[in-house]
Chain A
Amino acid sequence: MEERPDSDLRKQASPPPEVIVFGSGACAQKIAANLYDHGVNAWLAARGDASPAAGQGEKRHWLTGVELTACHGFANNFELKLTEKGSLLHQHVPAIVLAEDDDRCPNYAPYGLSPNPRVLSISSLEEKMHPASPQDLFDNGTQIVFLCGWHNDSHPAIAQRMLTACHRLQNRSPVTTYFMTGNLKVAANGAEALVHSAKRSGALFLKFTDNFPTIQTRADGRFEINYLDELTRTDFQLKADWIVVDETIGPGRHLDALAKGLGINQDGIGFAQSDNVRRLSNATNRRGIFVAGGSRGILSDAEQLADADQVTLNLLAFLNNQDAEPLPPVAIDRGRCARCLTCHRLCPHKAIDIGDHMSVVAEACQSCGICVAACPARAIDMQGVNIGRAVYQRIKKSALNDGAPQDTSQVMVFGCTRSAGQARALSRLAGHRLPKGVLFVEVPCGGTISSQHLLAAFDAGADGVMLCTCHTDNCQSEIGNQLARKGADAARILLQAAGVESDRLTVASVAANMGNELTFMIDAFVDRIKALNGS
């Protein structure tokens, strides 16, 4: 066995932890190399037959031809069933990293082109330019046209590569380059300077807003590009010998299956991380599973390597148990549980174990309270959190304190710690007080509030109830806000049946930094309730 560098990991007595990294590209390799340096055995699981480049094999373990069959278990204790070139493989790992490369697809159709020997994708051009010196690639006087983001905008990560290639060719070879784009993407470090430099070397930049060029392929395989120049408002025709097209970067082909197999939420495009700022930078909805590089979004090559370092940091913190926040434990009462599996189905963090008895796995649970609210048998309890009781106590206390007859409307506002709770603290700092009669109940997540709680508030004497959740796509528990809304919809139906105006119950979405807005919203709601009360 190779000698490992001195590792300061706290658990020195036990064998080094093993981690699986799905992926085989630069990002995945860097993660594995980093982890190795810190005494963690990282297994690289690649779908294809990518073999380690010379000199890198000894440092990590490679599994090739790998497919994920199933993932069971939870943080610190995942059981992966894989097939490696057809044969079954079991891996028991505390943590998993998803770092598959993205998929780069050349854009032909957006430019009215088909694959053609004289049309190069930026990746192919980069490959050609890599070993060769630029001046040997193209003949003197060749016209090369770069097409970057017309009807559909490009992305800085891609534009940067196009600009770099354009600049290099213009600067160091006897060609003339043209860069035809819609919005020129310069929001990457050094991009603007690169554009200036390319222009100074003779590259021509042509921008289009509403009308885009049309391209004809001639019999000799070269191109005629007709366009209306926006500056001079004149029609021009450009003859191109070569065309370089940009690419659309998307999730790798196997990412979907992997994400679903691991129980990881995906964004609207298919990358294995929800488009939710709370997941920044490399977290997923499941504790112990991290996502990096081309698996989490469109990242430049440099960003992907940086991602590898970030993930290493967070993964090591996880293995060292440093990231454990003290969260109230959640437990399922066996006596009441009917094994309906609602909790298991709803849990956004996949933290419910179906064993001989249903149980909440502490390592994976993030104490959102969704299962507590959703359990039809009310069999689940979060320590220290009893919303029903809080509701009755708050309203009772308010009634007692007032002394005077109830001429103040009682409005109950539910808000979660991550948004409304913080917004309220912020508004307090700014000197805003809640109107008289408003009772604020802070909960772990909007999803902790069930329709029962809302009805309980009215039952206890509230004239109005406001339920504040995080915005769509901003919920720490992914779906807490949706479930809260569903609960409110259900409560409204019952309220209407009981003769209570449905306007008395409202749902609003808030963010942590909306101090003033929250106050305005509550004030406005209290006014509406007063009007309904007839005062």
Chain B
Amino acid sequence: MNIDRKHVAVIGAGVTGLTAADTLAGWGARVSLVEKTPFLGGHAIQLNCKATDACVKCGACVAEDKLLSATRHPHVDVYTGTQIETISGQRPYQITYRIHSPLVNADQCDGCGICFETCPVSGAISQGHAPHGGPYVAIRRDLCRYFQDAACTECQDACPQGAIGLSSQAQAGTMQADAILVTTGFTPYDPSDKSYGYGQFLNVITSLDAERLLREHTVMKRPSDGRPAGRIAFIQCVGSRDARLGHPWCSKICCGSSLRMARLIQSRQEDAQITCFYIDVQTFGKDFQPVYRSIRDNIAMVRAIPGDILRTATDELEVIYFDPQSHASKESLFDIVVLSVGLLPAEDNGPLARILGWAPHESGFLPHHGSERHPAPEGIFTAGAATGPMTIAESVSSAEESVYDMVRFLTAS
């Protein structure tokens, strides 16, 4: 099999895209790795290591490895802040894109973090990996207020290095590809519509918010006042297994993530009291039973999903639920409530599928390129969570499997 001088575009640089890009480059192809946000690594790279005494095999560190390999490979060209606009209908595919130039000048930025502290929108400015030593502080256009009404320029004004330029132009470009791999990943469910107070009560956060919190402070602190959080509740299946919402699927990773996070928090905060509200605990890891048992013995597992959350005068959260033990309605107070939000299809799946003249599943996830009922157009491949919720380990496997199909296809074409 020989794919030297073949050009491949990988759309989406999460753990699946990074794995695929590295593998394809290893086989000799020239890879354009296209990512719409300023950062590589997708969601996996935002996860914390959940090890206490030993590795708990969440796979988060694998994302770091794949990122390093892919970005170091000479055959991989990385495009961040790049949105795909059109893809021509025939092979070799002509892809037009728009690169949003970085809003933070890498040469001037010294990582002081003042912008990060000044920004009124949580998550709009983030620190993370950037390709080839580019800016590691970046502003997300989809969250930043400036891009909604040009009103807020706090970060730009506050930056002591003058490294921020909010009004920068986008550049257009084209590339050619003999094959395209779509690895657009997932979009986390936004629980603002649920009666949990997300978006109004500062101490109600999503699982991804919790990851960011832990990464920054290493312990759980209440967002409202920065005090250590003692009583923490995890609510599972928020946005998943919900036919009414149109999400009749299990998001697979949330039970494992939450239980591991609970265990990590307890190892760092001795007085933490954790409650987990669940429907069914999903399996994770090879040797599930003993690990699960040890976690279960130390946290309160309540087999009920709460109905409402109210906020007290002291910013505590009153969680109301039907207690299966006493068979009656109950209220419990917590310092923080973590909503384990589900994995929804990536927002880009619909537009991309339309560009490609291909229909996504009813669910919004993309079919596997080899699907019998919805085969992809020739030369188009899919992998990873873009096709359905997946763990990091499964994403890596999915990438390798799709690369195998691509290498054969490119060799034959």
Contacts and interface: CB of A to CB of B under 8 A. Distances in A.
Interface of A: 8-9, 38, 152-156, 183-187, 189-193, 196, 207, 209, 230, 233, 267-269, 271, 275-278, 280-281, 297-298, 303, 306-307, 309-310, 312-314, 316-317, 322-323, 418-419, 422, 426, 429-431, 470-474, 509, 511-514, 516-517, 520
Contacts of B287: 267-269, 275
A513 B61 contact: yes
Interface of B: 1-2, 23, 26-27, 45, 47-49, 51, 53-55, 57, 59-65, 68, 110-113, 127-129, 136, 215-216, 218, 241, 243, 248-250, 252, 255, 279-283, 285-289, 292, 303, 324, 327, 388, 392-393, 396-398, 400-401, 403-405, 407, 411
A280 B65 CA distance: 12
Given A185-B283, A233-B327, A306 B27 contact: no
A271 B1 contact: no
A303 B54 CA distance: 27
Given A184-B279, A317-B27, 16 more contacts: A8-B411, A155-B288, A183-B280, A187-B252, A191-B250, A192-B249, A207-B280, A306-B398, A470-B55, A471-B51, A473-B57, A513-B48, A513-B49, A513-B64, A514-B49, A517-B49
Given A317-B26, A429-B129, A473-B55, A520 B283 contact: no
Given A314-B400, A430-B111, A472-B54, A209 B59 contact: no
A430 B127 contact: yes
B51 A509 contact: yes
Select the residue from B54, B113, B243, B255 with max chain A CB neighbours within 10 A.
B54
Contact of B393 (A191, A280, A317, A509): A280
Contact of B400 (A192, A303, A313): A313
A520 B404 CA distance: 42
B397 A310 contact: yes
22 contacts: A153-B281, A153-B289, A187-B250, A192-B248, A193-B248, A193-B249, A269-B286, A275-B287, A276-B55, A276-B57, A277-B57, A277-B62, A277-B392, A280-B62, A280-B397, A281-B400, A309-B401, A309-B404, A310-B397, A313-B23, A313-B400, A314-B400
A467 to B, nearest CB: 16
A532 B241 CA distance: 56
Contacts of A418: 65
Most chain A beta-carbon neighbours within 10 Å: one of B128, B287, B397: B397
Contacts of B397: 280-281, 303, 306-307, 310
A309 B396 contact: no
Contacts of A207: 280
Chain A interface main SS type: loop
The 5 closest A-B pairs by CB, nearest first: A431-B111, A472-B54, A474-B55, A511-B49, A471-B55
A380 to B, nearest CB: 27
Contact of B286 (A156, A297, A520): A297
A317 B281 CA distance: 39
A514 B64 CA distance: 10
A63 to B, nearest CB: 26
A331 B250 CA distance: 52
A209 B324 contact: yes
Contacts of A520: 218
Nearest to B363: A193
Contacts of A297: 286
B405 A183 contact: no
Contacts of A230: 303, 324
B396 A511 contact: no
Nearest to B240: A192
A508 to B, nearest CB: 11
Nearest to B243: A196
A209 B303 contact: yes
A129 B111 CA distance: 64
A303 to B, nearest CB: 8
Contacts of B282: 156, 183, 185-187
Contacts of A191: 250
Contacts of A277: 55, 57, 59, 61-62, 392-393
Nearest to A316: B1
A262 B32 CA distance: 40
A224 to B, nearest CB: 25
A398 to B, nearest CB: 24
A14 B400 CA distance: 28
A186 B283 CA distance: 9
Contacts of B392: 277
Contacts of A268: 286-287
A445 B250 CA distance: 39
Contacts of A303: 397
Contact of B403 (A280, A313, A514): A313
